[in-house]
Structure 1
């Protein structure tokens, strides 16, 4: 008889195989006389779609909400269905008399294994044991864990908590997204974590937009005596260093100029600064963003490549910053292995610190599913530059961890002149310790806490209390208060990891003091990219900001008593607290899911009964009418001023949806209204049927404001249509739009047979716009579907086949039919028609 071991990923299966001497390779598993080792590839199954439970839920309609299945079921993920069948066959193998779950030691790892067993119809749980460790899977750790297996039943509560999280996210996402999309006339996705993160971005944008800078003044004085010079910054009894008025500042400046004071006190303290903790994924992503400008997703992908392809980094998706006590021997070997190729970083390593007594590094109590990110081997020479940069961060952090503390002397001088006090601070390195690893790198300043103090030199004079202090010079610096900084990936990750400051209840603050944040190490980068790809956020150079669409969603949800909880990190903390209680046996999974069902039902009811004023039209944010100052919105055929009615002033300002054969999108209209020009844009068609590029301008003439096209030489492939409109990191999922629907302004998304408007599911028939994926036997790629949506016309395409079997070439063009419905038609390079 044999033991079947189920791991979470192939690399872990190989670790088990090495430890247990399993060498027989098969398709999807490994085997010897005692063991069969197989693996998942993360999640292999997912919850059913709504219409899998009931066909009425296939169409997005308010009257069929809420979606509340009585029982939840799973189906295979298509990409990994083959591996699921391998596992199911092994579970049914009569030679298998015991099963070991060896997925990651955490809630998600438990869910991955249990959902596989559930979807496989497995019932013999008395045969199932649990392998549980977060140590690096050396042969010794694997053997020790296999000798200390526990009954899988001991982890039932953890499984219940994980399944509750999964079902709750499904209920909120399915119901919230449909209700929001139907009532807000555009594709909107709502999710517990995604929406809370979006609220951080939206609130930061509002804070910056509404911020009004206020002036303040800082007074600094240069003191001198026979021992040397030193600068000091004025402060008062309340430790305030800022003057609110220039008059206050100049009065004190005049009071101290050319006077002699004295050294009031001098404090010198010798301090030690320990090495930084080893990297978790989020910490690595923050540093890579600060130092190299890498996005969170880029850093994750690079770390994953260094782990999977280069074999020189440990598993990257970890929230641990420590190693396990059983990893001391492995770590000592790594230090010796890496010291030779990277001597400049390891020269100061103290091997006595590679010990179980070093709790900053080896701490089982702080170990989670996976140990900290560490280097496992020298980086291969054929690694690219970006990979080397990420590897370098991890390597130096690992080397620094085994250096002595940095020892320094902190000096504070208080100088008094005419009863006004000035503070001087200085820092002198005594023994660099671990900082020697970073000796050439500049110190990073906290982006959120800019300082008014100028940096003081290390060589302050050897003053003593009572020394004279002549004022040689004084400087009055006028400054302004600054708004909170724009979010970078690093700052957003920081707030996602530690969102406690956005929570008011003390009990909920405690939830965020541990390893719980918004999202997980494995999902935070994807959450950011999802917000970007769905148009809720945008990158502006190195920063991330909420878009009008993102702010619109948050503002709308906050209008409701129940739905507003989706916006708050507080609600996520409440969920996590309840899930932790379930995992610890202190809470009921039934009570939790009942509360989620109630929450979803009440949210849907708010959307059903909400007034139209609560769902203000997103189109109102296109821009300001240049003629009357009203709002420019999208009408049925064109864009026009909302004040077009006689009672509102009868403003006749309009921007046509098609100008010289080129479709004008909402994004172009917004740019045109804001800057009075947009482009260069391609896709315009001259009276001679020649395509050309031009700049669309808004000019005021005798007949009011009108649009004009000014031809330019910019080649189509370099126009903004193909550079700025495309998402920075497109992701192929059904909820990521290819462009704007020319009929209703919704998102056009990829379906099975065509690229259609996401609003097709709405009640009252929905939007019927579609671009078929196959036209005249030619497959239309996402590239050309996007081009058609952006320009109203594609490049010349080859490979169409007529009904008579003849090949022909043509452009695809959007053109309204007699009913006003936008249709895809052929635009031929000459006057002939399709044969």
Structure 2
């Protein structure tokens, strides 16, 4: 009997599939039934070759060996996490199991059931490439691992060949990051990382550096902030029923004043005065709940609400909930659901609302705020599934509850309030302006009851237009403008998600759903993907480029230095990185070719390597001892190390680290004047910056005297001779 082999991304997902298809016979590395065999990977079982696997000489880093770009990229079994030189034995065993299952005579069809995203596609496709699979391959595309969805998905399999654009984007990203990372990390470390045992590896990456730059820019903004102050005047008014409220003084639509003395005079004039309510405006307003979570918004919400949480931790917990069938796929950029999911969402809502104190207020409705195909790219927003969780850890409870509550809120009554603005005029020629009070009154609590969100708004007493109020008190306050706040993981994720575009937010905790922001996110114009951003922030901490102080993120000395000295400035540019990510997104949509993208990456890498090789900004930090028996002729004008004599010239002893200062003994310019480059000449040149010659012969045969200077062209980096005639 012919069977189909299903390959899942992880063992937990394989168990979910086997359970849904009623496959029960457990074997070593797979589960077998009558029609199906289910096996699994452990994420990536393979990795790209290291540079030294292509060429043994690359095992030691030498500047002249870069840029290094293989003609054909190859995969190998991934390395052991604790010993990089060794193969991961677990991965090796599982690959052999998968290989033997693929080659079984009764297996006629292979079904890839890895996650439906760029990385999931690569995890299975790199296996198929490595194992040279030639049996028909199909793709199971699911957003959740519940029994209903698995069965539905198995009835709607696609050919894996239809996923070629997704594979191209995934492998394009993989190769681009390898080429940029290997080349620029190596040459940056050789150029800037120090020498010998003190050498520090400087990690350079396509997503790493622009993220570091975001934090650096905020740090500099805070550093360069100059505090400015202004003054404001507040007065307390009492109504006829003795209710008091505060009001703010305005002139020409502004409450900010430069001179305290001016407001002091008005404050004095207010004593024993009355004010007349000259205008009262009441506007009814609606407040909708924040949209459903995408991964970045979920990470931002949890990291700002709970102490000690990082984006990376939020993703791990969400991934666990996904694999346990409690939530849908978490690595999504969308904050709405596909319209085809209305029936499923209604079933989930029905399950979740049972027994809640506000159950009667929860009503399923077909709203564009929740269901909108035009705002979904690949995956819908994160929601609970119909499976009610049991035995959650406290961390899982935090994340699940946030997702559940955000989902329920979408189907609750809209919160409504009245916004009141009262304008008061004090009849005194010394008080030309008006006092304005603003307040809100909650009419319908609506969705805010779900998380017991209390209003912090001012509530004004009932006063009417034409009413006279008594001034009871006034004061002048100094207001000093505060510097910007350090980035937190929440604010950093927002900038990464939208590539630095600014979006006006209604409230401090608002995850704005503006059209502009959604278009930016859905076009793929961002830094990294939902799946990789948390990992990027964690890596920046791990390698010592940034540090966390409470929830605040700030650059370290090393991080600041990297930003300031790194010569391939495109890699620090949010726009450039955003365009690369947008190109990957276009490859995924079939609008751009992988080969063209990689040509761009290879050209960029070659140019960047040359820029780093020719950068002398950090050479002075190397203090190189001169070889035994050598004599120091003078100090190198580039880096301050010793200039010593060699067979063909006089050069800097710091040449191994890239200092190119050299004066050749047979220098054609000097010999054209009938002179030679000698040790004494070089000594004088390095000491005084110039050296004098007499009896020089011009081309016309005239004799003259001149000083010779050896000066560096800042644009090209090369030294040239300059003559200064002596009368």
Q: 1:604–1:10: structure 2 CA closer, same or farther, 3 Å change rule?
A: same
Q: Which residue of 1 aligns with 2:466?
A: 466
Query: 2:443 matched to 1:430?
Result: yes
**Does structure 2 retain, via aligned residues, the 8 Å contact 1:328–1:354?**
no
Q: Which residue of 2 aligns with 1:46?
A: 47
**Does structure 1 retain, via aligned residues, the 8 Å contact 2:47–2:77?**
yes
Q: Which residue of 2 aligns with 1:486?
A: 486
Query: Separation in 1 of the partners of 2:295 and 2:590?
Result: 30
Offset, 1:609:
1.2
Query: Separation in 2 of the partners of 1:352 and 1:396?
Result: 12
Out of 116, 140, 158, the position equivalent to 1:105 is 116
Q: 1:462–1:501: structure 2 CA closer, same or farther, 3 Å change rule?
A: same
Out of 268, 288, 302, the position equivalent to 2:282 is 268
Alignment of 1:743-782 (within 5 A): 764=656
Out of 204, 217, 223, the position equivalent to 2:231 is 217
Query: 2:214 matched to 1:200?
Result: yes
Offset, 1:490:
2.5
Query: Separation in 1 of the partners of 2:363 and 2:372?
Result: 13
Query: 2:364 matched to 1:354?
Result: yes
Offset, 1:178:
0.9
Out of 563, 588, 591, the position equivalent to 2:593 is 588
Q: 1:255–1:96: structure 2 CA closer, same or farther, 3 Å change rule?
A: farther
Out of 106, 118, 123, the position equivalent to 2:129 is 118
Unaligned segments of structure 1, at least 5 residues: 444-454, 620-633, 637-644, 647-761, 767-835
Query: 2:32 matched to 1:31?
Result: yes
Q: Which residue of 2 aligns with 1:570?
A: 575
Offset, 1:301:
4.1
Alignment of 1:494-533 (within 5 A): 494-501=494-501, 511-512=520-521, 517-533=526-542
Query: 2:23 matched to 1:22?
Result: yes
Query: 2:310 matched to 1:295?
Result: yes
Alignment of 1:15-164 (within 5 A): 15-77=16-78, 78=88, 79-124=90-135, 127-134=136-143, 136-164=144-172
**Does structure 2 retain, via aligned residues, the 8 Å contact 1:207–1:484?**
yes
Q: 1:306–1:596: structure 2 CA closer, same or farther, 3 Å change rule?
A: closer
Alignment of 1:638-717 (within 5 A): none
Alignment of 1:347-426 (within 5 A): 347-350=357-360, 353-354=363-364, 357-363=366-372, 365=374, 366=376, 368-369=378-379, 371-374=381-384, 380=390, 385-417=394-426, 418-426=431-439
**Does structure 2 retain, via aligned residues, the 8 Å contact 1:204–1:486?**
yes
**Does structure 2 retain, via aligned residues, the 8 Å contact 1:348–1:433?**
no
Offset, 1:608:
1.0
Offset, 1:4:
2.3
Query: Separation in 1 of the partners of 2:331 and 2:393?
Result: 21
Query: Separation in 1 of the partners of 2:338 and 2:25?
Result: 31
| C-alpha distance after superposition, 1:367-394 (max 9, x if no partner) | 644651437666656x554454444434
Out of 601, 609, 618, the position equivalent to 1:604 is 609
Query: Separation in 1 of the partners of 2:23 and 2:525?
Result: 37
Unaligned segments of structure 2, at least 5 residues: 79-87, 195-199, 504-514, 626-633, 636-653, 659-727
Out of 163, 175, 186, the position equivalent to 2:183 is 175
Query: Separation in 2 of the partners of 1:765 and 1:556?
Result: 16
Offset, 1:270:
2.1
Q: 1:167–1:251: structure 2 CA closer, same or farther, 3 Å change rule?
A: farther
Offset, 1:477:
1.3
Q: 1:308–1:19: structure 2 CA closer, same or farther, 3 Å change rule?
A: closer
Query: Separation in 2 of the partners of 1:586 and 1:390?
Result: 36
Q: Which residue of 2 aligns with 1:449?
A: none
Greater length-normalized contact order (CA 8 Å, ≥ 6 residues apart): 2
**Does structure 2 retain, via aligned residues, the 8 Å contact 1:350–1:404?**
no
Query: Separation in 2 of the partners of 1:45 and 1:370?
Result: 29
Offset, 1:54:
1.2
Q: 1:109–1:350: structure 2 CA closer, same or farther, 3 Å change rule?
A: farther
Q: 1:502–1:61: structure 2 CA closer, same or farther, 3 Å change rule?
A: farther
Q: Which segment is superposed worse, 8-17 or 484-493?
A: 8-17
Q: Which residue of 2 aligns with 1:547?
A: 556
Query: Separation in 1 of the partners of 2:104 and 2:168?
Result: 27
Offset, 1:570:
1.3
Query: Separation in 2 of the partners of 1:56 and 1:436?
Result: 66
**Does structure 2 retain, via aligned residues, the 8 Å contact 1:508–1:570?**
no
Query: Separation in 1 of the partners of 2:344 and 2:518?
Result: 37
Query: Separation in 1 of the partners of 2:73 and 2:433?
Result: 72
Q: Which segment is superposed worse, 427-436 or 3-12?
A: 3-12
**Does structure 1 retain, via aligned residues, the 8 Å contact 2:423–2:436?**
yes
Query: Separation in 2 of the partners of 1:580 and 1:43?
Result: 21
Query: Separation in 2 of the partners of 1:403 and 1:149?
Result: 36
Offset, 1:302:
4.2
Query: Separation in 2 of the partners of 1:362 and 1:138?
Result: 21
**Does structure 2 retain, via aligned residues, the 8 Å contact 1:17–1:30?**
yes
Out of 613, 616, 621, the position equivalent to 2:617 is 613
Alignment of 1:250-329 (within 5 A): 250-254=264-268, 258-293=272-307, 294-304=309-319, 316-323=330-337
Q: Which segment is superposed worse, 180-189 or 261-270?
A: 261-270
Query: Separation in 2 of the partners of 1:147 and 1:298?
Result: 35
**Does structure 1 retain, via aligned residues, the 8 Å contact 2:286–2:416?**
yes
Query: Separation in 2 of the partners of 1:299 and 1:233?
Result: 43
| C-alpha distance after superposition, 1:22-49 (max 9, x if no partner) | 3332222223222222222222211111
If the length of structure 2 is used for normalisation, what is the TM-score? 0.74
Secondary structure, counterpart of 1:487 in structure 2: coil
Alignment of 1:452-463 (within 5 A): 457-458=458-459, 460-463=460-463
Offset, 1:233:
2.1
Offset, 1:320:
4.3
**Does structure 1 retain, via aligned residues, the 8 Å contact 2:526–2:582?**
no
Q: 1:568–1:349: structure 2 CA closer, same or farther, 3 Å change rule?
A: farther
Query: Separation in 1 of the partners of 2:134 and 2:268?
Result: 86
**Does structure 1 retain, via aligned residues, the 8 Å contact 2:498–2:517?**
no
| C-alpha distance after superposition, 1:477-501 (max 9, x if no partner) | 1121111102223222332333332
| C-alpha distance after superposition, 1:606-664 (max 9, x if no partner) | 11112x335664x9xxxxxxxxxxxxxx999xxxxxxxx99xxxxxxxxxxxxxxxxxx
Q: 1:414–1:111: structure 2 CA closer, same or farther, 3 Å change rule?
A: farther
Q: Which residue of 1 aligns with 2:85?
A: none
**Does structure 2 retain, via aligned residues, the 8 Å contact 1:235–1:423?**
yes
Query: Separation in 2 of the partners of 1:361 and 1:367?
Result: 14
Q: Which residue of 2 aligns with 1:814?
A: none
If the length of structure 1 is used for normalisation, what is the TM-score? 0.65
Offset, 1:329:
5.7
